[in-house]
Amino acid sequence: MTTNALAPDQARAQLHELTVIDVRTPGEYASGHLPGAHNIPLDALDTALPALKEAAARGDLLVVCASGARSARATERLAAQGIAAATLTGGTGAWAAEGHDLHRPEHATRTVWGMERQVRLTAGALVLTGLALGLLHPAFQLVSAGIAGGLVFSALTNTCGMAAVLAKLPHNRPRGADLDATLAALRDR
């Protein structure tokens, strides 16, 4: 693979040649993923390095997330370990916007909100709570100020501490058996 980013149409044309790794949470993955994608959440990437190294030795890796930000971080981490991988420009959002199919697991019974939506809800709820409690005592307004500062920091660094915390919630975590099965499938491919 000569490039570190593929547009959705380029990725679709090469999909049969690529091993696709989706670094979103299991809930996001279940809401729709590229055909044949393997779910390895970003925070489980280090655990998956040996299997990813084996998969990369057999063919090209394409790393995918919702928008391209997490997959870009993942490809940087992989590159630091000597594993070449490309990212999907615009993520699954751009893939779906171009009319390409998203697959959903057959056993998925409910859809978990995307991480961006979870962050917006949590940040908004904390800001409103801080403002409401600020009516009782002005010091509670610091909660709202802290969230605002975190959002500015998040935008400037293209990272999100709140998303990292939310990713640890049970509905955003893979079951151990699911991650083990994914890693075994990568090794057997």
For residue 139, pLDDT over 70 is answered with yes
CA distance 90 to 12: 13
Type of residue at 177: A
Separation between Cα atoms, residue 9 and residue 98, nearest integer Å: 8
The pLDDT, as a whole number, for residue 14 is 93
Q: What is the DSSP string of 64-97?
A: E-SSSHHHHHHHHHHHHTT---EEETTHHHHHHH
Of the CA atoms within 13 Å of residue 27, those in its CB half-sphere come to 17
Torsion sign (Cα): 114, 115, 120, 126: positive
Average pLDDT, the chain: 88
At residue 159 the predicted structure's pLDDT band, cuts being 50, 70 and 90, is: confident
Q: Tell if the pTM clears 0.85, that is, is over it.
A: no
Where is pLDDT greater, at 107 or 167? 167
Over residues 114-132, the mean pLDDT reads: 91
pLDDT bin (cut points 50, 70, 90) of residue 124 is very high
Distances (CA, A) of 57 to 4, 23, 75, 186: 16, 20, 15, 11
Q: Are 37 and 15 in contact (CB under 8 A)?
A: no
Name, in order, each residue with C-beta under 8 angstroms of 70's C-beta and a sequence gap of 6 or more. 23, 24, 42
pLDDT tens by residue, 83-115: 999 999 999 999 999 999 898 876 655 566 778
Sequence spans of domains, the chain: 5-103+174-188, 115-166
| SS3 label, residue 50 | helix
Question: Which residue, chain included where needed, has tokens 């870009």?
Answer: 72
- Decide if pLDDT at 2 tops 80: no
Q: Which helix (H) or strand (E) holds 23?
A: none
Query: Which is the CATH superfamily of the domain at 5-103+174-188?
Result: Rhodanese-like domain (3.40.250.10)
CB 31 within 8 A of CB 22: no
80 vs 177: which has the higher pLDDT: 80
